[in-house]
Each structure stands twice: as structure tokens, then as C-alpha cells.
Amino acid sequence: SKKPVRVAVTGAAGQIGYALLFRIASGEMLGKDQPVILQLLEIPDEKAQKALKGVIMELEDCAFPLLAGVIPTGDPLVAFKDADYALLVGARPRGPGMERADLLAANAQIFTAQGKALDQVASRKVKVLVVGNPANTNAYIAMKSAPSLPRKNFTAMLRLDHNRAASQIAAKTGTAVGDIEKLTVWGNHSPTMYADYRFATVGGKSVKDLINDQVWNADTFLPTVGKRGAAIIEARGLSSAASAANAAIDHMRDWALGSNGKWVTMGIPSDGQYGIPKDVIFGFPVTTENGEYKLVEGLEIDKFSQERIDKTLKELQDEQAGVAHLL
């Protein structure tokens, strides 16, 4: 049987952690033949560590055959030691009276420390997914704080936006969500993201032609996908957790095991393609194979799309400028 791999998860006692860890341990992320050791980071605070112990008791009670070990810790150097995968879920949420700049600064501190720890102790091949918001900028900070690791190892989660978009399109066209291909979401994981179905197909037919309604695109589809997170908070009284965990599983599974030619959306450091400056962590269409992602290049960007891409890029650049002095 295969040698266990080490999967670090931060914010492990949080909502997303609770929806995520059991699926990783059951083999849904890395395959039903891949044993895993979970290395779980929570803040050193007594209450958080106690909650983490409770989650671990439940992991034990699942008797997952693939779960080869669990290491709870409050120290990033322990959590990331030899990690093959790192899911950075824990982040500082916006508290009452907190300004956007305070939020950026609090997270800059967390992701600088975690980037440095990854740099020091993780596998040189570690695949990092940042889920904690602001996800793209947090991934950028971690990447910049880990100069000895390849830039390409750092990604941010746009997959929830991608899955939300796919689901809206399936409902609109009366098709099966699994048949939708060549969809992507450009930019920031925020309401400015640009979900783009111009290239998408379903059962070989053009989604754009099937929908044939630019007003629906601009006035219904994009706001629905962009504000879906807020709509879920409004309905549930809590932010999306199961769907976020599901998207994290999808992102990592496709990165590790391949997307079989299918386009998926990942937030990845730009190399300058599509006019996105180098190092900006931007949602792009990619295909994945042999543990590597590959950007889908050469897509035509029309005027409407360019405006949307410019807007989400501007927001990311403002966030980057907001943390530049902290790096």
C-alpha cells in the first residue's frame, strides 16, 4: 500500500474544518488508496485547542482506514513539518468596528508567519491552498514569505465561485451540472470576480448561445454568483462551510490527481498572461495533470470581459498595496 502523505489544515476546529477533515480522512481528496496524516493547526488559545481535541475524538470514532495519524498543534512549525499539502483555512474574520485595513493587517500577520513556517519546514513540493479570506491576498502574502518554495506551489480558492457559477448555469439551461465544461472565474474571490461562460459548453453546445441573454448575464447571473456568500449568511445565519469545504476538496483533488482535460478555476500566481501583472494571485482557467496546473492561454477577451477583469484586478492591486509595507 501507499506511503501516507501529510496534510496540514489550519483553522481545523472551525466551521469549514468540521466539514473538511472527515472528507480528507475518508479519501475523497487524494484517493481511496492514499493514507493521510492530518496535521491540524489551531490558535494556541485553550478553548480552540479543546475544540480541536473534540474534533479529533470524532475523527477517531469514524475509524477511517486511510487515517494514518493526527497531530494537533498550536505551532505552525509542527503543523507544516514535511507537509505535502497545506490547506490554510484559518483566518481572522472581520470583527465589529474593524476597518478593511485592520483586517488586511491582521491577516498579513497570520499569513506572513505561516508562509515563513512553510518555507522552513514543509516539503519542497508542498501544494498550498489558501481558503481564509481575503484568500487571494493571503496566498500572495504566504508566497512572498516563502522565498525558497516555488511560487507555483501557492494557490487561492476560486473553486467555490466556479461551482456556484456552474450550478446557476445548469439551472438556467435545464442541464446537468456535471456536463458543463470550459467555465471559468477570473480574478479575486470577492463580489468583483468575473464568472465567464463565453467558452462554456454543455453536451457539446455553447452555453452562451443556449442562454443568449446578455442582460441576464450582467444583471442576474454575475450578481447572483458574486453575492452568493452574503445570501447564504442571510439565510443560514452562518457563512458557507460545507460548500466551501467541498470546493477545497475539488481544488486539491484536481490539482493532485488531474482534471482529465476539464477546465477548472484556480487562483494562481500570474506570470503576466492576460495582462495580469506577475505574482498577482488571480483566478484563471487551468487544466491539471500529473500534479501540475497549466493555464489555458490565448482566450479572446472582449470589451465587457476586459472591463470586468480590470475591475477585479484593481481590487487585488489595492489589497496588495494595502499590505506592501507589512511584507
Residues numbered 157 to 216 that lie near ligand NAI (CB under 6 A) are 157, 160, 189
Least Cβ distance, residue 112 to ligand NAI (angstroms): 11
Piece in contact with ligand NAI (CB under 6 A), picked from 22-30, 141-149, 173-181, 236-244: 236-244
Least Cβ distance, residue 89 to ligand NAI (angstroms): 5
Least Cβ distance, residue 201 to ligand NAI (angstroms): 25
> Residue 159 or residue 182: which is nearer to ligand NAI going by CB?
159
Residue 86 and residue 144: Cα distance in Å, rounded? 16
> Residue 66 or residue 117: which is nearer to ligand NAI going by CB?
117
- Count Cβ atoms within 10 A of the Cβ of residue 155 and give its class: 0-12 exposed, 13-18 middle, 19 or more buried: buried
What is the torsional sign of CA 23, 29, 35, 38? negative
Residue 53 and residue 69: Cα distance in Å, rounded? 14
- The C-alpha cell at 300 is 479572446
Number of residues that bind ligand NAI (CB under 6 A): 28
Residues numbered 2 to 61 that lie near ligand NAI (CB under 6 A) are 10-11, 13-17, 41-43, 48
> Residue 232 or residue 299: which is nearer to ligand NAI going by CB?
232
Q: Is 117 in the site for ligand NAI (CB under 6 A)?
A: no
Residue 81 and residue 76: Cα distance in Å, rounded? 8
Measured CA to CA in angstroms, residue 102 lies from 11, 47, 109, 115, 201 at distances of 20, 24, 11, 20, 42
> Residue 66 or residue 146: which is nearer to ligand NAI going by CB?
146
> Residue 119 or residue 179: which is nearer to ligand NAI going by CB?
119
- Spell out the alpha helix ranges (H) of 35-181: 46-62, 76-79, 100-121, 135-144, 159-173
Q: Is 104 in the site for ligand NAI (CB under 6 A)?
A: no
> Residue 20 or residue 276: which is nearer to ligand NAI going by CB?
20
Piece in contact with ligand NAI (CB under 6 A), picked from 163-171, 238-246, 249-257, 310-318: 238-246
CB 247 within 8 A of CB 264: no
The amino acid present at 14, given as its one-letter code, is: G
- Residue (of 144, 166, 164) closest to 281 by Cα position: 144
CB 69 within 8 A of CB 59: no
Least Cβ distance, residue 269 to ligand NAI (angstroms): 16
From 26, 175, 206, 239, residue interacting with ligand NAI (rule: CB under 6 A): 239
Measured CA to CA in angstroms, residue 115 lies from 50, 90, 145, 153, 198 at distances of 25, 13, 5, 11, 36
Q: Which phi and psi angles does 206 have, rounded to 5°?
A: -70, 125
Q: Is 316 in the site for ligand NAI (CB under 6 A)?
A: no
Residues numbered 70 to 99 that lie near ligand NAI (CB under 6 A) are 89-93
Residue 304 and residue 219: Cα distance in Å, rounded? 13
Piece in contact with ligand NAI (CB under 6 A), picked from 57-65, 143-151, 215-223, 239-247: 239-247
> Residue 66 or residue 249: which is nearer to ligand NAI going by CB?
249
CB 168 within 8 A of CB 225: yes
Whether 251 sits among the annotated catalytic residues: the reply is no
Give catalytic residues, as residue numbers.
189
Question: Contact residues for ligand NAI (CB under 6 A)?
Answer: 10-11, 13-17, 41-43, 48, 89-93, 110, 131-133, 135, 157, 160, 189, 239-241, 244
